[in-house]
Amino acid sequence: MSFTGKTAIITGGGSGIGRACALGMGKQGARVAVWDVKGANAAGVADEVKDLGVRALAVRVDVSKIEQIEAATRRTLDEFSRIDILVNCAGMALPPKPLLETTPEELQRVFAVNLKGVWHCAQFAARDMIKRRSGRIINIASIAGKVPRLGLGAYCISKAAVIHFTRCLALELAPYRGITVNAVGPGPTRTNFRQNSGLPETPEQVTARQGQMLKGDAAQFRLGIPLGRIGEPEDAAAAVIFLASDEAGYISGQCLYVDGMAGES
């Protein structure tokens, strides 16, 4: 799977699964644009990619703001002249809260990042891909997009929307023959996303407001995963790299779940 000569944009590339995707693409020879809302994180990962012997660009961008996406796209094209691969990895979640208590502002924020950010990044990238009738768009969804999680309703719904957006965009871009759109649905993964998003981490933190338990700690997750472990960022990145490759050229509109079968519960 050689990506030599190709340019990959990784949103949310400054940590976790996004970082693993950036490094994985770099190892395969791609030039990598690392987009992240935290500029220092983006710069750190871009330096790691450069250490692999390939070009990299760090861009601070909040994907909930379309003007920042447009500016980041222009900067990436100015640097690398083309976009071959887009990995929409940027995402967020609210602290656990019942849907009936989720405010309009909270819902808007989740959808601004998790759906609208994916939507607009894909729009800008696809416009360049259409010129060459070639490209790969991979959206990071979640098993929460098909299996509801108590207290995480807004996040679950946003990821379900990402999965269906993937299918709709794949259908629209199919006439260009060489452009595919897919999603990857990670299960519980060892990243700092849960901590940064306010999601439960310890047995004490997993007590929901209604006195029920959210499966948030590592031991509980392992018990519910037939393969017996929490996923690593590299597990999801491997699926992303495959879907971005020429070998996956006849796969489009799909969501590949990387969850150790946790999504079957």
155 in catalytic set: yes
Report the alpha-carbon distance of residue 84 to residue 126 in Å, rounded. 9
Amino acid at residue number 157: I
Report the alpha-carbon distance of residue 195 to residue 28 in Å, rounded. 30
Report the alpha-carbon distance of residue 177 to residue 250 in Å, rounded. 9
Report the alpha-carbon distance of residue 18 to residue 64 in Å, rounded. 17
Residue with tokens 């416009």: 127
Cβ atoms within 10 Å of 261's Cβ, excluding its own: 13
The H or E element containing residue 166 is helix 153-173
Report the alpha-carbon distance of residue 119 to residue 166 in Å, rounded. 9
**Rounded to 5 degrees, what are φ and ψ at 146?**
-125, -20
Q: Look at residues 166, 92, 93, 142 and name the one whose alpha carbon lies nearest to residue 263.
A: 142
Would you say 217 and 201 are in contact if contact means Cβ atoms under 8 Å apart? yes
Instruction: Count H helices and E strands in the chain, helices first.
Output: 9, 7
Q: Which residues form the catalytic set?
A: 155
